[in-house]
Chain A
């Protein structure tokens, strides 16, 4: 994964009036001054946090991330009591320095931590520090927010730079700056507030896009080597240079690969064989040191150790293909499920992952090189988004295509054999595609049998049951779907009502959207959600159905719900399709969308009666 500069976060002034109850903690002031010239960027932050109640005290534990190359200096901090008197100043020995928590196996990110607490509320903590960067891809990526539930009452960023220091500015939920001086030294100031209300919601846009923030990108930079953000071409050229010369393979490796592909003539078969070779012989280990956030370890390193991160493994895969005479390209993307907004017209480092593209007969094979469990050419998890293809003077922004919706359909088949006591044995068969396929593929390859059993138990859509047996069938490593079969017993499926009994049919898999009154963020469904179900209910001998709901079709621009009920003697077959279309839904439209979901759920609540 790429290194993102640690960023803070934000809202509009009009929302401030909503804060009628004092928060447990609030940021009274978040003042940032960024001074840039062609040699370095110096950022000075002064943050004043008011702790109003003991419940807000988790924010009195302060962490500041930095790196050896971007050190933090002049850190001072103190507590002021409610009368405004300084009652305690942080001592150097109270600052704990350590490696920062990271998902990487090893990262050289560092953190300074300290705690300032008092016992008489409210009190304020003020801390100020300077961070200096001589090599950078961002001048600032500023979000004046310390926690999603903490309001920021007043934030400002003052940006001072020589007239000839060219930058690109991305303002997010901010008004235009005041120009404080415009002579040879330009000084601008942005102001922001945040009401503490933004949270991740069900299928929401990235919360970060709804906070106030300012990203300042240098037009030109020197990060390892000089580069430019003037176009995607120039940014791609910089990356090309950064990764050039790293694709040398040792002779021993070359001879091994030769054996792998010696009998293969078809180009696709060769690519596939080398991809399998990569999957079978390497593992994902992320070591992130210095410019290693952007520059991969060389192919020889991966060849020796048989591990690497996305950059190293992709670079190694390129080297393998190169040896086989097949040209491929390093491709940067953002792999998050719910990525931040992408700015296609503003070239800069907006990525966190690397894959490769192999052009073939006018088409492209996209290869994800960090997962040993996914099929050759599979790209559902990163579908339908822009990416930067790195190819020297031919570098360009490309689009990873949207996956055919057929490739995302999940099918579920349940067969219930109900007994006289109200229990039911169930055999179920699931055919998974898309993200469930990825999760289960990873699980069967990388989890222990005990972990797998727990995960399958949690995966099954029943609440009280005994899992008797299960099996996952993946027909070949390059299949993009798998089948989970499970047999189980539900203690209580049917309930008596008079001399009859009823049961609820197995509900559709529908996300639990927030009520409109509580929803804060627009909906973003990035790929279709499709589930096709077949439910087969068999009554005990001598029983027959007394009342069964009627079929229903609800279809509109948001999606489709279609359910049919068919009685066949003592069996009932329910077929159901549920689909949510890929789309963005604004907050204005949200109540209408919510009504669509509610209408479906109302139908799903109907019961089946038998006697």
Chain B
């Protein structure tokens, strides 16, 4: 749902219900104290009784400032809910401008021995913690909180930042009985908003204040919008989802137009073409690319690649940037430092690195454009509405030989044209003044892992040597390379299951030659398992999942596997003298829209060969496919953990 908040009449059909009125601050209704559980959710450890937010503009000596006030009242139902009495309020600071917390107040209410006990938050127990140069946390723990308490706090923040009006989440990890956000608009700033998580508001009101204000000789009234939601369920995180941001019920605001007193209007972002135009003029985006040109040219000259075909040239440039500049771990669509500083420090955020890559590609005569996107953790982009705050990352697209390649030089282990998982999130916007075009952020690389195993028994028949070779490509190779590089010891340990012992150390092939499949091999020894006169052999020790990760019985949100992947297995078991293959193994052959599972065996007098594979065909599975997917996963676990039986012949 997208909307514009201005003085226009809203044309939306909105459900209008009665608002909830809060208690006077410092007071509590007896029913809140006597409340033992929340009928809407018997699992809730606490419930937000109400949460009121209000944003309005004040006229100060320094011009307008935004004030944000919040009052929250929570019932603590169980001891697990006491954590909601430890509160953190983040605020933003810069060198010249900053947000300020003007006041914090709080109470805890208990009903003990027949009387109401009210304990005030002691201002001496409010602390300030600096997270980094821009974010400070105010922290406080409300006093005397126990099972059954009602807590209440309010605070007020003054902000000079008009671009991002305070957003509002109607939903949290506990249920909310009533959540309401009021914004009082003035004619000088016009905002767009987007609402997600529900089809309509339970409460909506639009009024004008009766008291007129005056600014620069213009008389105006505040245009007040109230948005309310009732009985909002708890948002409980589930595994395999992209981002809470994609699902939680919230309203986001973005400055659209600034109306000056002289009648001039400054359009902030109202269309994607305008966003593109603006980005290209910004020193931390378009001008950064321009300003990098000279240095990019000097580097290119030293690389001596001018005579290479375009694709090879692009590949060489991509490799150069990846291997020479370090990502500092920060996502941004804007460069964090000057191009000069970036080249000196060899370190930068995603924009520093990728915009420089773009400059190098351009200087080399290649078509290259920045592509702005929203990472998976940041949530989906509402493509039909230009909220620039939803875009938090920039990559590069280069076009050569009629083909497009998406590049992210922050991921040193990614091949040319492969995006890291964090970027695979629907689509990104090509930043080009000539066009407004979206590009799909998909993974074209084939992701597979092939495990080849050879099992030979030692002459004493008390153990077997297992030689394993793992070959991987695409994202699977990227994941494995990264795990190995991050912690080789953990990587080795994770391969060992049960009573496996390492016999020969792990050897990697093509660890850094990323255009080739990542391969590693190792040899382990496993103790033999037997029953009666039969040997039991696990054909894929330590290689196949032993447990179904899909545990819950019902799924609310899509299962996001990020990319489609295939696992292939082959195991050759050398049949020892005096033994023979005892059992026919049941072949498995499942191929449907969700997965493919294959498993078969062949045997000769000397060897038994087990071959199998499974493929998750989709990157994202819908909630209605969950039950079937879970069942198929169980089949995979059971099939590939089957033991091969060898029978003594004498």
Contacts and interface: CB of A to CB of B under 8 A. Distances in A.
Interface of A: 54-55, 57, 88, 94, 96-99, 105-106, 115, 117-119, 149, 199, 259, 280-281, 283, 285, 287, 304-307, 372, 445-451, 457, 463-464, 491-492, 495-498, 500, 502, 504, 515, 518, 546-547, 601-602, 605-609
B499 interface: yes
Contact of B548 (A96, A464, A546): A464
A515 B501 contact: yes
A349 B303 CA distance: 59
A57 B532 CA distance: 55
Given A105-B141, A463-B547, A450 B236 contact: yes
B122 A304 contact: yes
A94 B489 CA distance: 33
A283 B125 contact: no
Given A119-B323, A304-B143, A88 B345 contact: yes
A306 B146 contact: yes
B638 A491 contact: yes
B326 A117 contact: yes
Interface string B527-548: 1011110101000000000111
A608 B548 CA distance: 26
A115 B328 contact: yes
Interface string B544-565: 0011100100000000000000
- Specify the main secondary structure of chain A where it touches its partner: mixed
A213 to B, nearest CB: 23
Contact of A199 (B139, B489, B534): B489
Contacts, number: 136
A306 B145 contact: yes
A315 to B, nearest CB: 17
B634 A446 contact: no
Interface stretch (B15-23, B25-33, B129-137, B152-160): B129-137
A281 B143 CA distance: 10
- The interface size bin for chain B is 35 or more
A574 B532 CA distance: 19
A44 B129 CA distance: 28
A306 B583 contact: no
B170 to A, nearest CB: 20
Interface string B617-644: 0000000000000000010011001110
B89 interface: no
26 contacts: A57-B326, A88-B344, A96-B133, A97-B130, A98-B130, A105-B139, A117-B347, A119-B326, A259-B113, A283-B145, A283-B146, A285-B86, A287-B141, A304-B122, A304-B144, A305-B122, A305-B141, A307-B143, A451-B80, A464-B637, A491-B634, A492-B641, A495-B642, A495-B643, A518-B502, A547-B531
B485 interface: yes
A464 B634 contact: yes
B111 interface: no
B582 interface: yes
A457 B582 contact: no
Given A305-B122, A515-B502, A607-B536, A447 B546 contact: no
Given A305-B141, A448-B45, A497-B534, A287 B127 contact: yes
B324 interface: yes
B79 A497 contact: no
Contacts of A496: 583
A447 to B, nearest CB: 5
Contacts of B144: 281, 304-306
B647 A457 contact: no
B37 to A, nearest CB: 12
Given A117-B345, A464-B638, A502-B531, A447 B80 contact: yes
Contacts of B236: 450
B43 A98 contact: no
Contacts of A497: 531-532, 534, 582-583, 645
Contacts of B536: 502, 607
Contacts of A305: 119, 122, 125, 141, 143-144
Contact of B43 (A118, A450, A609): A450
Contacts of A602: 527
B319 interface: no
Given A117-B346, A497-B531, 9 more contacts: A98-B133, A99-B131, A281-B146, A305-B141, A448-B43, A448-B80, A497-B645, A504-B529, A601-B527
Contacts of A502: 531-532, 536
A607 B529 contact: yes
B325 interface: yes
B249 interface: no
B16 to A, nearest CB: 35
B412 interface: yes
Contacts of B45: 448
A372 B79 CA distance: 10
Contacts of A97: 130
Contact of A115 (B347, B583, B643): B347
Contacts of A515: 501-502
B532 A601 contact: no
Contacts of B548: 464
A55 B582 contact: no
B125 A601 contact: no
Contacts of A96: 132-133
Contacts of A498: 534, 582-583, 647
B82 interface: yes
A512 B489 CA distance: 16
Contacts of B86: 105, 285
Contacts of B78: 448
Given A98-B130, A106-B127, A305-B143, A607 B530 contact: yes
Contacts of A283: 82, 145-146
Nearest to A55: B485
Contacts of A115: 328, 345, 347
A607 B583 contact: no
A99 B637 contact: no
Name which of A281, A283, A285 has the most chain B CB atoms within 10 A of its CB: A283
A22 to B, nearest CB: 15
Contacts of B132: 96, 98
A500 B647 CA distance: 13
Given A98-B131, A304-B119, A497-B583, A609 B146 contact: no
Given A105-B141, A115-B347, A498-B647, A609 B328 contact: no
Interface in B77-134: 78-80, 82, 86, 113, 119, 122, 125, 127, 129-133
Leading 5 A-B pairs by shortest Cβ distance: A607-B531, A119-B324, A305-B143, A306-B144, A106-B127
Contacts of A601: 499, 527
B393 to A, nearest CB: 20
A547 B531 CA distance: 8
Contacts of B344: 88
A325 to B, nearest CB: 23
A97 B93 CA distance: 14
A274 B113 CA distance: 17
B501 A446 contact: no
A50 to B, nearest CB: 17
Contacts of B534: 497-498
Nearest to A604: B499
A602 B527 CA distance: 8
B143 A306 contact: yes
Contact of B139 (A94, A106, A149, A307): A106
A446 B79 contact: yes
A287 B119 CA distance: 19
Nearest to B108: A306
A550 B501 CA distance: 27
B125 A287 contact: yes
Contacts of B133: 96, 98
Contacts of B489: 149, 199
Contact of B141 (A285, A447, A449): A285
A137 to B, nearest CB: 24
Nearest to B131: A98
B529 A463 contact: no
